[in-house]
Amino acid sequence: KQEVTQIPAALSVPEGENLVLNCSFTDSAIYNLQWFRQDPGKGLTSLLLIQSSQREQTSGRLNASLDKSSGRSTLYIAASQPGDSATYLCAVGEAGNQFYFGTGTSLTVIP
C-alpha cells in the first residue's frame, strides 16, 4: 500500500522568505501527483498537478518538482506572504484510480 509522508508537519516563517515543502511516497509506480492547499474549515484547492512523465510544474510563485525514482516531490514557494498561511497537502495518484494523501504541512507566514 502506498504511504505518503509530508515533512515537516508544521512550519513557521517570516514574510518574504522562500520555502520548500516536502512530500515522499513509497511506491514509484504513480501516474500523477497533485499539491493542494486547505484553509481551516474549508475544502481543498488544487495548486499544481504533475503527470508522471513530467519533472516540474510552475504557477506564479509556486514550483513543484517530481522525482519518481527517489519517491519525492517538493513544493517551492517564493517570497512567502501571510495569505499563504494554510495547510499544504500532496496526493499521489496510482493506476486504478486510487489516490493517497499525506497528512499535510501546516504553514504560518508571519508578517
Q: Between 14 and 43, name the residue whose CB sits nearer to another protein.
A: 43
Q: Between 71 and 93, name the residue whose CB sits nearer to another protein.
A: 93
Assess whether the previous peptide bond of 14 is cis (omega < 30° from 0).
no
Q: How far is the CB of 32 from another protein (least distance, A)?
A: 6
Q: Between 40 and 83, name the residue whose CB sits nearer to another protein.
A: 40
Q: How far apart are CA 31 and CA 93, in angstroms?
A: 6
Binding residues for another protein, rule: CB under 8 A, are: 1, 4, 31-32, 34, 36, 42-46, 49, 51, 89, 91, 93, 97-104
Q: Please check whether residue 53 is in contact with residue 66, taking contact to mean a CB–CB distance below 8 angstroms.
A: no
85, three cell numbers:
498561511
Q: How far apart are CA 19 and CA 11, in angstroms?
A: 9
Q: How far is the CB of 21 from another protein (least distance, A)?
A: 15
